[in-house]
Amino acid sequence: MNTQPITPERELDWEDTIQNDSAVGVLLPEGTYSFVVTAVERARHPGSAKLPPCKKIILTLSLADEAGNAGQVKHNLFLHSKCEGLLCAFFLAIGLRRHGEPLRMSWNIVGRRGRCKVSQRSYTGSDGAERKANDIAQFLEPPETPAPAQTYQYPAAPAPQGYPAAQPAPVQQAASVPQQTALPLPRQNPWAQR
């Protein structure tokens, strides 16, 4: 278990003090993790038996779970129509997309947060030794946000005799997008005499 806090990346000065061991290369147990996108790199996939040559994004994700396990994983997102579902799942996980809605991809996402399932895969290293590495198995949808609270409207008090009864004010739902509610101010001449 690695209990080092996740800190943002930064350039070190020539005489900076260093103390944190690298979280890269730490094998995390399989499970559900929160992640923060710490780096985005544009690259090119040369092609393989499964996927033709295409652009790709290499994400560096800092992971942490509730048990205190923490580490980093690099994950490739391939910009190809075969992988569109995986791209949609990633943007859904970081809160930039909703189901069924089109999204123009933007890679200005460093600092975005989400949740994912992490798995382990075995491979043979260049030296012939069997090793294990972490993979992102699935990006998870963010939890649903609760519906806005309903406002309670008090019953109207009876009007005194001789006055018309008050009409209840209409209840307005909060708009999801701020809208201009006032007219713009008229232009003022700064050279006019006051």
Please give the backbone phi and psi of residue 65, each rounded to the nearest 5 degrees, phi first.
-115, 180
Give the Cα separation of 173 and 162 in Å (integer): 34
Indicate the pLDDT class of residue 170, thresholds 50, 70 and 90.
low
Q: What percent of the chain has pLDDT over 70?
A: 64
- Do residues 9 and 38 make contact, with C-beta atoms less than 8 angstroms apart? yes
115-129 pLDDT, tens digit each = 999 999 999 888 998
65-111 pLDDT, tens digit each = 888 889 999 999 999 999 999 999 999 999 999 988 999 999 999 99
Q: In the predicted model, is pLDDT for residue 153 greater than 70?
A: no
Give how far Cα 63 sits from Cα of 38, 60, 124, 152, Å. 10, 10, 24, 42
For domain 31-140, give its CATH number from 2.40.350, 2.40.50, 1.10.10, 2.60.40.
2.40.50
The pLDDT assigned to 184 comes to 56
Instruction: Give the up-direction half-sphere exposure of residue 36: CA atoms within 13 A in the CB hemisphere.
Output: 12
62: helix, coil or strand?
Answer: strand
Indicate the pLDDT class of residue 158, thresholds 50, 70 and 90.
low
CA-based angle 152:143:28, to the nearest 5? 155
Please, what is the average pLDDT of the chain?
79
Q: In the predicted model, is pLDDT for residue 178 greater than 90?
A: no
- Of 8, 132, 140, the closest CA to residue 65 belongs to 140
The pLDDT assigned to 27 comes to 87
Lowest mean pLDDT among 52-56, 124-128, 158-162, 183-187: 183-187
Q: What percent of the chain has pLDDT over 90?
A: 48
Residue 128 region, left (φ>0) first, then alpha (ψ -120 to 50), else beta?
Answer: left
Helix-then-strand count for the chain, H and E: 1, 5
